[in-house]
Structure 1
């Protein structure tokens, strides 16, 4: 595609294994564009004026920025170039940007939940108002589509979240209720997460997460990024922005997702995971 727009990718200049993640995303971008892209690794103390000079000299039309360092650069570049943000947790709150957050789309989470545990009738979500509020409308629509109930509880801090979890965990029903752990500051890894997982194990409650790290610790399943496919989606957004000459399409949740399942937890919950289902999981814990 010789006539396709000139697109650059800016990503953090960091060591493996994290560098490899960004290179996979770049591979997906190039597959979608059917051409190599200009890349600019950002050092920790980068010079934004040097970045701008590089992009102008290369006659770049669109820029895909990756990671939190890329997000910081995006806010300086968005008035000069078409910018798309990816590979970072970001909400649309107050951000006039285009991009894909690392937050999984609730519709895909709920679809996977019901595939793994079709008994579930109700989901409980305790979330940070500032970080996760933007997902709630999507979650409510998805729950309605799948004919399940969702109870959402916004909180301001970890202390409020801990109090709510202690109360709510006493009233959830085995085989009917599931707890959704979001990717926000309500999940304290040292105190709240062990409490949730311990109580849910004792009471046979399904816990699913937006964070892969929760699976080895006992959550039933989590969705995590398919980096190459995410790169293709970021490239598609960049092409759309350039084609339609838009400055912002907005932030959307991630739909390019893989599935990790804790089979020990599934067995404990009495779930019948078929051989075909197990083959379709991208990661299983404990490792066999």
Structure 2
């Protein structure tokens, strides 16, 4: 079932193409706090960016549940002459994949869809990921611990794509990246134990990516923090909750700015409807 609420003004251009440009749909899951407020902050950012771009753009919000019907949603969007869509959360991402299957005769996408409010990895859907770009992490690391020269990180298939970005970022920053591929948490622990048993110092740092295998909250994290405190090794993380557990720093998403980015991306798809872009 889809519950819709109309938001914004009702000024639209007369012809269909301009009318579609002036309408954007936002889908987000039915959720309790704090997730509901997060979605609202993202939407507020998107609305602000849209109004700055064109005061006649309006939004229509759709709350989706697990029982949503993608065919019904597609039909509703067509009836409302809406082809720009922003989706939030995991349910929204699933909907985005289903909407991407609708094509015009020239194989371009019927709906221009971007996804957010999710730790996205590269896929067939454009969007803004909650996973922070390693270049930003390494840049902040240089500000708070400029003595660090080497970063150690274990990664699995889930975070392998991120390591490729990290290698480029480390090279630009003049850092050494000691990355080690693992397939399970036990292998990750073995890797970190070897790191701590080597000649590490305050010039070393441990990076915990958003990866349940290598950065397990109850298994890997306590071990790393205990050893790191004893040997004065910096630990930083891509998971916000780790900041409360004792890592030097972690990153929190700017939800309002994320919404602004999503609007910019969905507008960009008007010119390149089949382009797939992932931003951090």
TM-score over 0.5 for the pair: yes
- CA distance in 2: counterparts of 1:28 and 1:114, whole angstroms: 30
Are 1:159 and 2:186 an aligned pair? Answer: yes
Normalised TM-score (structure 2): 0.85
Q: Which deviations, in whole Å up to 9, do the C-alpha atoms of 1:222-243 show, x marking residues without a partner?
A: 112000001101111110011x
C-alpha contact (below 8 Å) 2:206/2:235 kept by paired residues: yes
The runs of at least 4 consecutive aligned structure 1 residues that moved more than 6 Å come to none
Checking the alignment, whether the CA contact within 8 Å between 2:155 and 2:180 is kept in structure 1 is yes
Identify if the C-alpha distance between structure 1 residues 5 and 118 changes in structure 2 by more than 3 Å, giving closer, same or farther.
same
For the Cα contact (< 8 Å) 2:29–2:65, is it kept in 1? yes
Contact 1:5 / 1:61 at 8 angstroms: preserved in 2?
Answer: no
Distance 1:117 1:164 in 2: 23
Q: 1:47 to 1:120 in 2, by over 3 A?
A: same
Q: Tell me if the contact between 2:23 and 2:58 (Cα under 8 Å) persists in the aligned partners.
A: no
- Count of aligned pairs: 249
Q: Distance in 2 between matches of 1:57 and 1:192?
A: 51
Separation of aligned partners in 2, 1:162 and 1:45: 40
**2:266 pairs with 212, 232, 238, which one?**
238
CA contact (8 A) 1:11 1:40 kept: yes
Provide the residue aligned with 2:252 in structure 1. 224
Give deviations 1:33-82, integer Å, cap 9, x for gaps: 11441111111222222222222222111111111111111110013311
If you compute each CA radius of gyration, which structure gives the higher value, 1 or 2? 2
Uncovered stretches (5+) of structure 1, i.e. residues with no partner: 255-288
Partner of 1:48: 70
Relative to structure 1, the CA distance from residue 172 to residue 46 in structure 2 (aligned partners, 3 Å threshold; closer, same or farther) is farther
Q: Partner residue of 1:17?
A: 34
Paired residues of 1:197 and 1:207 also in contact (CA < 8 A): yes
Corresponding residue for residue 84 of structure 1: 114
Say which of 40, 43, 59 aligns to 1:37: 59
CA distance in structure 1 between the aligned counterparts of 2:258 and 2:187, rounded to whole angstroms: 34
Cα displacement (A) at 1:179: 0.5
Is 2:176 the partner of 1:149?
Answer: yes
| Corresponding position of 1:67 | 89
Q: State the partner residue of 1:270.
A: none
1:172 deviates by 5.2
Q: Secondary structure at the match of 2:129?
A: strand
Provide the C-alpha distance between the structure 1 equivalents of 2:209 and 2:186, rounded to a whole number of angstroms.
16
